[in-house]
């Protein structure tokens, strides 16, 4: 019987014979207790499977199917929970849609509705997620034949806010000891807030002056090697014996939050405005640039995925290119000669 009831469900169920590529019959709920509606679901499903089997027509997949498969395949991503939050918001627009019904018009509506309540950059993260899911549905799962083309908003240059060494010392003086140590370690290593808070002793080798972040905990998904300078080592030595697993603690427990009243109060007392915890990473990069660290080395030290992400710090040390610019002097005949004034 192709339409039947089950004791464990209030809905009507469908059972259809297997088609090419399937090893067993299809059994699924119609999602309705109304027999007439259930029969309509049955008929549509049977017709779709006949077209797929006899005519080679691709089955039409729903957005929800793509979301479930995406979340299963990307559960290792550091942004997995963020993806879930974005997808919950997108459900009001895409829920119930077939993948081949998602077109440029619908995506533009999402784009401009989201931009009304968020920044261009935040909106772009939502659009990029839609694009990634549709591309995988097209190129890997072969559920659709094409992906609609659409543009993201143009974003402003990334923010670069850093402190001078004097400002940083002033801030550390105002911070409670556990936050001051975490701030020093952040500037010494360039590690992101989550990696500093979650650092475990098993990933630290004081003898070799080395630490590492597993790929599962790093933003770009790859293991990140962290050479430890004297500033970082001094901080780590102060944490020895405080906790058996985690490096940074407060009153015997792992630190869960750094953007606290103690942080904002210290900034205010130090006279530092418009500064976030993540700007400690910008401070790390800025100081390295000013010290002459080249792009390829800074990229590896900070764990950036591309060199382009590091180039935004180039402006803070223009003198680093002075030697390169001076190479033309010899060719042009200037050399190290002292300019002469006009002769009488």
Of 69, 77, 278, 312, which residue is the catalytic one?
Answer: 278
Indicate which residue of 131, 136, 197, 219 is catalytic. Answer: 219
Q: Is 192 a catalytic residue?
A: yes
- Residues 232 and 6: their CA atoms lie apart, in Å, by 64
143 is catalytic: no
Catalytic, 154? Answer no
Known catalytic residue: 126? no
Active-site residue, 49 included: no
Closest CA to 181 of 108, 255, 130: 255
Catalytic residue among 13, 126, 287, 304: 304
d(CA 191, CA 196) in angstroms, rounded, equals 6
What is the β-pairing status of strands 12-16 and 3-5?
A: antiparallel
For 27, phi and psi rounded to 5 degrees?
-130, 125
**Catalytic position from the list 281, 282, 288, 289:** 281
The rounded distance, in Å, linking the Cα atoms of 287 and 7 is 69
Q: Which of 30, 99, 29, 93 is nearest to 59 (CA)?
A: 99
Catalytic, out of 70, 143, 263, 313? 313
**Residue from 86, 178, 192, 218 carrying the catalytic annotation:** 192
Nearest to 63 by CA among 31, 92, 95: 95
Distances (CA, A) of 300 to 9, 61, 303, 316: 56, 42, 5, 19
CA–CA dist 75, 83 (Å, integer): 10
159 is catalytic: no
Positions marked catalytic: 192, 219, 278, 281, 304, 313
């Amino acid at each position: 019987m192709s339409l039947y009831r089950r004791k464990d469900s209030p809905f009507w169920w469908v059972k259809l014979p297997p088609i090419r590529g399937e090893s067993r019959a299809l059994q699924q709920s119609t999602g309705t207790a109304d027999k007439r509606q259930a029969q309509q679901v049955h008929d549509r499903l049977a017709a779709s499977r006949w077209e797929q089997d006899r005519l080679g027509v691709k089955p039409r997949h729903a957005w929800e199917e793509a979301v479930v498969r995406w979340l299963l395949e990307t559960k290792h991503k550091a942004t997995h929970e963020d993806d879930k939050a974005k997808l919950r918001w997108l459900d009001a627009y895409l829920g119930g849609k077939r993948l081949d019904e998602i077109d440029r018009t619908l995506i533009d509506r999402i784009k401009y509705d989201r931009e009304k309540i968020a920044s261009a950059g935040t909106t772009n993260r939502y659009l990029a997620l839609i694009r990634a899911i549709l591309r995988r549905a097209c190129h890997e799962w072969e559920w659709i034949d094409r992906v609609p083309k659409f543009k993201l908003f143009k974003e402003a240059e990334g923010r670069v806010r850093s402190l001078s060494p004097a400002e940083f010392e002033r801030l550390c003086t105002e911070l409670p000891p556990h936050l001051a140590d975490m701030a020093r370690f952040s500037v010494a290593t360039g590690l992101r807030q989550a990696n500093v808070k979650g650092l475990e002793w098993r990933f630290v080798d004081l003898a070799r002056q080395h630490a590492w972040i597993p790929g599962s905990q790093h933003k770009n998904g790859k293991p990140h090697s962290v050479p430890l300078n004297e500033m970082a080592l001094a901080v780590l030595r102060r944490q020895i014996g405080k906790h058996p697993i985690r490096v940074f603690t407060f009153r015997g427990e792992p630190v869960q939050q750094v953007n606290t009243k103690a942080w904002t109060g210290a900034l205010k007392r130090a006279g530092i405005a418009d500064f976030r915890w993540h700007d400690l990473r910008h401070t790390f990069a800025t100081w390295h640039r000013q010290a002459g660290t080249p792009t390829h080395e800074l990229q590896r030290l900070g764990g950036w995925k591309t060199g382009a992400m590091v180039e935004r710090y180039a402006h803070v040390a223009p003198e680093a290119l002075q030697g390169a610019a001076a190479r033309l002097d010899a060719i042009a005949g200037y050399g190290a000669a002292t300019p002469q004034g006009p002769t009488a």
